[in-house]
Structure 1
Amino acid sequence: MQSESKKYEEEIPSLLWGLDPVFSAFARLYIKDIKEMRESKQVPGIFFYNGHPVRQVDVVGMVVQTKEREAFHSYGDCPGTPSSLKVLQQMKKFQEMVSQKTKLEIGDVIRVRGHVRTFRQQREIQSSCFYKVDDPVCDVQISRMLELPCLYREVYDKPFQSPGAGQSGPEGLDFLVQTLHEKVRDFLLENKIQTFYQQELETIHSLVSLAEGPKSSSSCQVNSGSESSSKRIHSVFKEAIKKLQEKGVVFQKPGTSMYYHVTDHDKELLKVTLDVIKEDCRKPRHAEKGCHFLHVLSCVRQTYNPNLDEVVMQRVLELLESNSDIVSTMEGYYMAF
Structure 2
Amino acid sequence: MQVGEPGPGPPRDLQNPPGAPMDPPEPPDLSEPPSQLWGLDPLFSAFVRLFVSDILDMTESTQVPGIFFYNSRPVYKVDVLGTVVFRRERDDFYCYGVDDGTGVINCLCWKTELMREDGSGSGSGTGAGTGTRTSTSTGTTQGGFNAGAELTRLRRAQQNRSRLEIGELIRVRGAVKTNRNQNQNQNQNREITASCFYKVDDPVLAVQTSWMLEVPELYRTCYDRRYQLGPGTETPVSTATALLKDFLQQRSVTRFRPYDVQDLLQPLVPVLVPVQTDPVQPPAAEPDPGSGPAGRVQEPGSGSGPGSGSGSGPARAQQLRQLLQEVLQVLLDQGVVYRRVKSQDEVYHVTVQDTDLLMAVQDVIREDSRRDKYRDTGVHVLQVLSSVRQRYSLNVTRPALDLVLQNLEARSDIISTRDQYYTAL
Normalised by the length of structure 1, the TM-score is 0.45
Largest Rg, 1 or 2:
2
Greater length-normalized contact order (CA 8 Å, ≥ 6 residues apart): 1
